[in-house]
Amino acid sequence: MRSIAIKELLAKQPLGDTVEVNGWVKTFRSNRFIALNDGSTIQNIQCVVDFEKFDESILKKITTGAALKIKGQLVESQGKGQSVEIQTEDIFVHGTADPDTYPIQPKKHSLEFLREKAHLRVRTNTFSAIMRVRSVLSFAVHSYFQQNGFYYMHPPIITGSDAEGAGEMFRVTTLDSKNPPMNEDGEVDFGEDFFGKEANLTVSGQLEAETYAMGLGKVYTFGPTFRAENSNTSRHLAEFWMIEPEMAFYDLDANMDLAEDFIKFTIRYVLDHCQEDLVFLEKRLLDEEKSKPQHERSEMTLIEKLKFVVDNNFKRVTYTEAIDILRNSKPNKKKKFQFLINEWGADLQSEHERFLVEKHFKCPVILFDYPADIKAFYMRLNEDGKTVRAMDVLFPGIGEIAGGSQREERLEVLQQKIKALDIEEEELWWYLDLRRFGTAVHSGFGLGFERLVQFATGMGNIRDVIPYPRTPQNAEF
C-alpha cells in the first residue's frame, strides 16, 4: 500500500478507504488521540487509537516527536476540530523520541531557544509554515521572471573581482594559513594561491549579470551572496540569497515599475497559495504583539499588510524630497533619531527609512535620485552632476528591501568616476568593455530574498526565515 501525504488526504477525504500516512507525533492525548503531522501542510491528521487493541509496549513509544506509520480507515470525525480522522488499525514506529531529551515539546518555545535547535525547529508549526512560504516564494520569483521574458543566469560564487566592495568579503584560499608563501615585500603571495590571485565569495552578481543582460536582454540571478559585514541586526546575514534582475534598454522609471510589479506578484502569489500558513502566521504575530506596548503594535494584521502592498501604488519620492520631510519631522526636531538629519547629502539610516514608510507615507516607498557620494560608482550620473539614478525600495517593518539603479553606460563618465575613487581600471577591464562595445541604457536591482520572506511571514528577525542562519560568531550546523 502506498502512503499518502496528509495534505493530499485532507484535500481528497476518501471516506471509508483504508489509508496509510507517515509523520511525526505532535501530541498524544488521553492515550487515544494522536495528532500526526508530516510537513506537507500545517494541518495534522487525527488518528484515533483504541488502546485495548494495542500493546502497552507500543503505546509507550507514541510520544511527541516520534516518527510513525499509521494505517486505518478514514472516517468522519466524531469530535470537533477536524472533519475526518483515521481509525487506527496498524501502528509502525519508525523511531522514538525520548520525552526527557527531545527538546521540541508541545508548548511555546521562544524563537531564541529554537535558533539553538535549528536542526529540529522545522518540526514546529511556526517554522514549517515559514519554510513552506519560503519555498512557494522562491517559485514565485522564478515564475515571475520566466513569464516575463527573463533568462535565469548563474553568476560566479567565487569572484576574482574585488571592486564590488572589498573589505566586506570572505576570502577563498587554499594557502596554508600557518605557513603561507610570502613575496619580497613580506606580504602573502596570492600568486601562489589556487586561482593565482586573491579570490573571494561574491557579495553581488550584478556586474556579471550586466554583461549577460547586454546579450540576452533581460536576465535575473537568484543565488547565495556573502557579506562579512559585522552587523548584528535583525535584517543582516553573512550569507543570504539575492535576486538580481538586470535589463538592457531599461531606464530608472522602467526599473522602478519592474521592482514594484515583481514584488506585488510574489506577495499575491503567496496570498493565493499559502492561505493556511498565513492564517497561522498572522495569529502568531498577533500573539507576539500582545506583549508589546500599544504604540508598537501594527495597525494591520499580517494578511491585511500583504493585501495592502498588493493593492496600493508604492510612493515614489526623490532623495531630496525625503531629506526635507525628515529634516522637518518630529523625531528629528525632538532629537529622537539616533542620527539627526541636518543637511542634504546625509546617508539615510534604517530609522529614517522606517519613519518615511511607517509614519509619514504609511505605504511602501521608492526613494530615487540619491547623492552620488553615498552610492556605488556604477550608477548613472544625472544632469545636475551631483545625484545618480539610484533607487531603494523601502518596506514597513523591514526598511530597505531592494536597491538598484540605472547603470552608467557612458565610458568616459564611468572612467572618470573610477579614477576619482582610486579604483584600478585594469580591475574592471571587462566591465568597461561593455561601454566600449554596443553600450546602451540598462538598469537593475538587487532584492534580499530573506527580507521578502520576513515581510511575507511577519517574522521580525531574519535569522528565523532561513534554515541555517550565518551571522558573526555563528556558523553552527
Q: Measured from the CB of residue 225, what is the shortest distance to ligand ATP in angstroms?
A: 8
Segment 116 to 135, residues that bind ligand ATP, using CB under 6 A: none
Distance in angstroms between the alpha carbons of the first and the last residue of the chain: 36
Binding to ligand ATP, residues 241-260 (CB under 6 A): 242
**Binders of ligand ATP: how many residues, by CB under 6 A?**
15
Q: How far is the CB of 330 from Mn ion (least distance, A)?
A: 26
- Our CB check for ligand ATP shows the closer of 85 and 450 to be 450
Comparing CB distances to ligand ATP, the nearer of 59 and 111 is 111
The amino acid present at 317, given as its one-letter code, is: V
* Residue 271 neighbours by CB distance under 10 Å: 16
Grid cell, residue 32, equals: 487515544
Q: Do 221 and 154 form a contact (C-beta atoms < 8 A)?
A: yes
Q: Is 397 in the site for Mn ion (CB under 5 A)?
A: no
Q: Report how far residue 188's alpha carbon sits from residue 190's, in angstroms, rounded to the nearest whole number.
A: 6
Cell numbers for 449, please give them.
Answer: 530574498
Q: Considering the rule CB under 5 A, would residue 404 count as an interface residue with Mn ion?
A: no
State the nearest-atom distance from the C-beta of 400 to Mn ion, in Å. Answer: 5
Is position 317 an interface residue for ligand ATP (rule: CB under 6 A)?
Answer: no
Report strand pairing: 365-371 vs 315-318. parallel
Q: Which does 402 bind (CB under 5 to 8 A by kind): Mn ion, ligand ATP, none?
A: ligand ATP
Q: How far apart are CA 281 and CA 295, in angstroms?
A: 21
The least distance separating ligand ATP from the CB of residue 462, rounded to whole angstroms, comes to 6
Radius of gyration in angstroms for the set of CA atoms belonging to the chain, rounded to a whole number? 27
Tell which positions 180-239 bind ligand ATP, by CB under 6 A.
Answer: 227, 235-237
Q: How far is the CB of 451 from Mn ion (least distance, A)?
A: 11
Of 14-22, 69-77, 113-121, 395-403, the window that binds Mn ion (rule: CB under 5 A) is 395-403
Which residue among 205, 396, 397, 403 contacts ligand ATP (CB under 6 A)?
Answer: 403
Q: Classify each residue of 35-44 as buried b or exposed e, where b means 16 or more C-beta atoms within 10 Å of its C-beta.
A: bbbbebbbbb
Closest among 248, 226, 247, 222 to 152, alpha carbons compared: 222
The smaller minimum CB distance to ligand ATP, of residues 102 and 170, is found at 170
**In the bound complex, what is the minimum distance in angstroms from residue 253's beta carbon to ligand ATP?**
19
Which residue blocks in 236-318 are alpha helix, DSSP H?
Answer: 252-273, 275-290, 302-311
Exposure of 395 by Cβ count < 10 A (0-12 exposed, 13-18 middle, 19+ buried)? buried
Residue 401 in the binding site for ligand ATP (CB under 6 A):
yes
Q: How far apart are CA 48 and CA 87, in angstroms?
A: 5
The answer to the question of residue 451 lying near ligand ATP (CB under 6 A) is: yes
CB of 317 to Mn ion, least distance (A): 16
Q: What are the two backbone dihedrals, phi and then psi, of residue 429, each rounded to the nearest 5 degrees?
A: -55, -40
Secondary structure E strands in 102-214: 151-152, 158-159, 171-172, 199-201
CB of 221 to ligand ATP, least distance (A): 12
Is position 465 an interface residue for ligand ATP (rule: CB under 6 A)? no
Q: Cβ closer to ligand ATP: 270 or 401?
A: 401
State yes or no: residue 400 binds ligand ATP (CB under 6 A).
Answer: yes
Smallest gap from residue 403 Cβ to Mn ion (A):
3
Q: Is 403 in the site for Mn ion (CB under 5 A)?
A: yes
Cell of 430: 571587462
Sites for ligand ATP among residues 421-450 (CB under 6 A): 446-448, 450
Q: Which is nearer to ligand ATP, 143 or 232 (CB)?
A: 232
155 grid coordinates: 553568476
- Which residues are CB-contacts of 232 (< 8 A; sequence separation ≥ 6)? 471, 472
Given the C-alpha cell 515564475, which residue does it identify?
143
Grid coordinates given for 169: 568579503
Site residues, ligand ATP (CB under 6 A): 227, 235-237, 240, 242, 400-403, 446-448, 450-451
Site residues, Mn ion (CB under 5 A): 403
